[in-house]
């Protein structure tokens, strides 16, 4: 790119009296004009030599279990959403139970259970730039994959297998299985989170939380006294929370002291599923689903004050509230309503539902992709 300048030139034969005040001001003015032109030109040339990269826009990924798809919610305009089918090239459908955006924002991971019980369970990797499937990782048959998480460096993905009581470790670059953690019979691991080199796993049948030290494979089991469905971490790294479906409780595990505090949910609770803490580690949002164990369907989200370990607010959302995630700025909560095929959007400042977004059939897991990356 060429930039043309019109410069004022004073010839060497020109006679200019610099003692004249007006002439001094004129010279200063011309020098200033030239400097401005050069600066602007430099900016233009710089922008041409270094084209601006397109910034990733914030969006939410939703796993539609019965729909066999992933809904991508455009947060700039929720009427312009994308649906990604996870069926394979043969047309076989897979149930998408859980979805997780990698912390570096470069990939989105899905646990996929085949509709054909003789087929192989998969981890599906989606490119968030194109919203297309870039890899299918076959983990094995008869696993009933549940949830998927990644470490904070996005180097490894982990997936829980209900039926085999295992946690798979997969290299996020080579897509190879690098390790398996064996919990033993009768655990039924489900939801889990990664923090500081450890996995915190909710075990439904064992009614416990397993703490796995990834570096050496050490497993510590913490009895919880209830059907543990999912766990949540706080960003201040002080607490781990677990939802107990049958006892209608949330357990607060103090990491430093290894102590448990039980938080009883309101009388109208029907059974908590997923839960998520705000980035400032002050509030915990709990999706109350109900329906299983012969209970009525719930449409509630409970807000817990982490300092006091008390429920401070009940928010009405859609039927069968299941998955929950919070935006990176902590201003917005997103809840999947499995019974209504929608996502409720809650404003943290007012604790009110500000939008309801239609998604695929039976939405379950949900994950948030910010402009700067994903969520651990």
Q: What is the DSSP string of 59-85?
A: EEEEEETTTTEEEEEETT-TTS-EEEE
Cα gap 104→152, rounded to integer Å: 8
pLDDT value at residue 8: 28
Contact 328, 56 (CB under 8 A): no
Give the number of other CB atoms < 10 A from CB of residue 34.
14
How is the chain split into domains, by residue range?
A: 59-367
pLDDT value at residue 42: 45
Whole-structure pTM value: 0.85
Cα gap 292→42, rounded to integer Å: 65
The confidence band for 34, taking pLDDT boundaries of 50, 70 and 90, is very low
pLDDT value at residue 12: 37
Cα gap 216→194, rounded to integer Å: 15
Architecture of domain 59-367: 7 Propeller (2.130)
pLDDT above 70: percentage of residues in the chain: 84
pLDDT above 90: percentage of residues in the chain: 82
The confidence band for 54, taking pLDDT boundaries of 50, 70 and 90, is very low
Q: Residue 91 is encoded by which pair of tokens?
A: 């047309």
Q: Is the pLDDT of residue 294 over 80?
A: yes
Contact 335, 355 (CB under 8 A): no
Per-residue model confidence as pLDDT tens digits over 191-248: 999 999 999 999 999 999 999 999 999 999 999 999 999 999 999 999 999 999 999 9
pLDDT value at residue 210: 99
Q: Residue 44 is encoded by which pair of tokens?
A: 């233009």
pLDDT value at residue 228: 99
Per-residue model confidence as pLDDT tens digits over 309-321: 999 999 999 999 9
Q: Is the pLDDT of residue 371 over 80?
A: no
């Amino acid at each position: 790119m060429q930039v043309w300048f019109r410069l004022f030139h004073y010839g060497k034969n020109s006679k200019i009296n610099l003692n004249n005040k007006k002439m001094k001001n004129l010279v200063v003015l011309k020098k200033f004009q030239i400097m401005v032109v050069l600066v602007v030109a430099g900016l233009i040339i710089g922008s041409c030599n270094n084209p601006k990269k397109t910034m990733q826009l914030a969006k939410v990924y939703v796993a539609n279990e019965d729909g066999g798809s992933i809904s991508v919610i455009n947060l700039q305009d929720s009427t312009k959403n994308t649906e990604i089918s996870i069926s394979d090239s043969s047309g076989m459908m897979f149930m998408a139970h859980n979805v997780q955006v990698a912390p570096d924002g470069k990939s989105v991971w899905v646990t996929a259970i085949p509709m054909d019980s003789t087929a192989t369970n998969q981890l599906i990797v989606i490119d968030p730039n194109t919203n297309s499937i870039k890899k299918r990782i076959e983990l094995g048959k008869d696993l009933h994959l549940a949830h998927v998480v990644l470490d904070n460096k996005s180097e490894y993905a982990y997936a829980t297998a209900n039926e085999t009581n295992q946690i798979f470790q997969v290299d996020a670059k080579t897509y190879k299985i690098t390790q398996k953690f064996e919990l033993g019979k009768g655990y039924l691991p489900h939801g889990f989170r990664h923090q500081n080199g450890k996995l915190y796993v909710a075990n439904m049948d064992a009614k416990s939380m397993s703490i796995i030290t990834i570096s050496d494979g050490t497993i510590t089991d913490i009895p919880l006294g209830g059907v543990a469905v999912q766990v949540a971490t706080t960003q201040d790294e002080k607490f781990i929370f677990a939802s107990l479906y049958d006892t209608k409780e949330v357990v607060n595990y103090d990491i430093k002291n290894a102590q448990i505090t039980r938080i009883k949910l309101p009388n109208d609770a029907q059974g908590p599923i997923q839960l998520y803490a705000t980035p400032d580690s002050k509030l915990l949002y709990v999706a109350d689903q109900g329906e299983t164990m012969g209970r009525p369907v719930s449409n509630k989200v409970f807000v817990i004050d982490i300092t006091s370990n008390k429920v401070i607010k009940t928010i009405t959302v859609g039927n069968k509230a299941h998955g929950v995630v919070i935006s990176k700025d902590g201003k917005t909560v997103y809840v999947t309503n499995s019974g209504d095929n929608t996502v409720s959007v809650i404003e943290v400042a007012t604790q009110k539902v500000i939008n309801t977004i239609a998604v695929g059939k039976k939405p379950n897991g949900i994950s948030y992709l910010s402009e700067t990356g994903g969520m651990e």
